[in-house]
Amino acid sequence: MNNIDYNKKFNEMIEEIQKSNIRPSLFLHACCSPCLTYPFSILAKYFDVTVGFFNPNIYPKEEYDKRLENVKKFLNNYCKDNNIKFNLIVNEEDFEKYNKDLLIRKDDFEGGMACLKCHQYRLELAYKYAYEHKFDFFTTVMTVSCLKPSAELNKIAFDLEKKYPTTKYLYSDFKKNNGQLIGIKLAKEFDIYRQNYCGCKFSLLERDKRLINRK
Ligand code: SF4
């Protein structure tokens, strides 16, 4: 699936939705507010969006709370300015299980197999929720980040669609068309906190090492 133009597939699906004159429901997995800004601004035009903050990877708890607070801040302010309704669902049940699985990240590196498992874990948690709550569509904001492999994220979610077939997967490659840059501008405009590490405790330790080496 690696040569697929996911942005083109996204545009084709949006075109179909527009033709149908229906405004479907969409469950949007969001890892953090800076990654949420641009995808949400696009998707809210076509869908009734429910944002899912399903991220047991974020460490420590203070950082988790800060990222969640900033998701709320962005949604409240952006939706008020643009007269949009939204829902936000927060899943806080899976920290223990996630942290057991995370131990494999200890001997890996950012972007390696452990990160793929982390993406898989969070996407499945969110996709399952979308399916059980009868959402029409599911997608994730994570394809906006240049540090995240769009092909692999789309492949994971495409496979999940077979398991949860009544909720369609909306392909995406939000980093196309300067998506990440537009998202950063929106984050600045809405005074959103932008973290400097991915999320888990290993990525935090790596961030600290980088900062020490720079000094
Ligand atoms: S670096 Fe990011 S994607 Fe990789 S395991 Fe940690 S939180 Fe997950």
Phi, psi of 87 (to 5 degrees): -125, 150
Phi, psi of 139 (to 5 degrees): -155, 175
Who's near 22: CB < 8 A, 6+ residues apart? none
Phi, psi of 52 (to 5 degrees): -110, 115
pLDDT of residue 97: 81
Nearest CA to ligand 1 atom 4: 115
Nearest CA to ligand 1 atom 2: 198
User: Of all atoms in ligand 1, which is nearest to the CA of residue 117?
Assistant: 5
CATH of the domain spanning 6-214: 3.40.50
- DSSP, collapsed to helix, strand or coil, labels residue 136 as coil
Query: Which of 57, 59, 108, 119 has most ligand 1 atoms within 8 Å of CB, for mutation?
Result: 57
pLDDT in tens, 164-204: 999 999 999 999 999 999 999 999 999 999 999 999 999 99
**Residue-range domain boundaries for the chain:** 6-214
Nearest CA to ligand 1 atom 6: 200
Ligand 1: does its nearest atom lie under 6 Å from the Cβ of 114?
yes
Nearest CA to ligand 1 atom 5: 115
Beta-strand relationship, 48-53 and 168-169: unpaired
pLDDT in tens, 2-54: 689 999 999 999 999 999 999 999 999 999 999 999 999 999 999 999 999 99
